[in-house]
Amino acid sequence: MDWKAMLEGLIPIVGEEAINQAVTRLNELSGDATEPWKRTVLALIADAIEENGPGGLILAQAVLDDLFAGKAPDIDWASPRVASDIVAQMQNAEADRQSAARDFFSKVGDTLGQVFVAFLKGVIQSASA
């Protein structure tokens, strides 16, 4: 996944160093994605951010929460392949895999959250200047 390409538009606001740190961490997490469900969670997050910007994290989390609760998720914004894969892999996942998926999602979300907090601070500073 090309995290750098996804986040480079934020460089003027949050700075190249912040983006590079986030990209490094996301690449580490991607490298750890040796199991298909981890790659699918990353693909879901990538689709969510590409389609909805920073708010995409909330949408991706809602999809996982719905799947774990046995509900049909609102996932029409994701690519058909990712939507199919995430439903197939998470809907019938055992409790330990669901917990691992939540932990993994949380790690990715924390990393992206740091970038988006920096983004919001940059927007606020730009607006008050």
Angle at 54 between CA 66 and CA 103, to 5 degrees: 50
Report the pLDDT value the prediction gives residue 9, as an integer from 0 to 100.
65
Report the pLDDT value the prediction gives residue 81, as an integer from 0 to 100.
93
Report the pLDDT value the prediction gives residue 122, as an integer from 0 to 100.
62
Report the pLDDT value the prediction gives residue 119, as an integer from 0 to 100.
61
Angle at 70 between CA 64 and CA 75, to 5 degrees: 45
Cβ density class 21-43: b for 16+ within 10 Å, e for less: ebbebbeebbeebeeebbbbbbb
Instruction: State pLDDT tens for residues 88-109.
Output: 887 767 777 778 888 887 777 7
Residue spans per domain, the chain? 13-123
Report the pLDDT value the prediction gives residue 16, as an integer from 0 to 100.
67
pTM metric for this prediction: 0.66
- Identify the CA nearest to 90 among candidates 47, 27, 36: 36
pLDDT per residue, tens digit, the chain (129 aa), is 666 666 666 666 556 666 667 777 777 777 877 888 888 888 888 888 788 776 777 788 888 888 878 788 889 999 999 999 888 887 767 777 778 888 887 777 777 776 666 665 665 665 565
How far, in Å, CA of 63 to CA of 90, rounded? 10
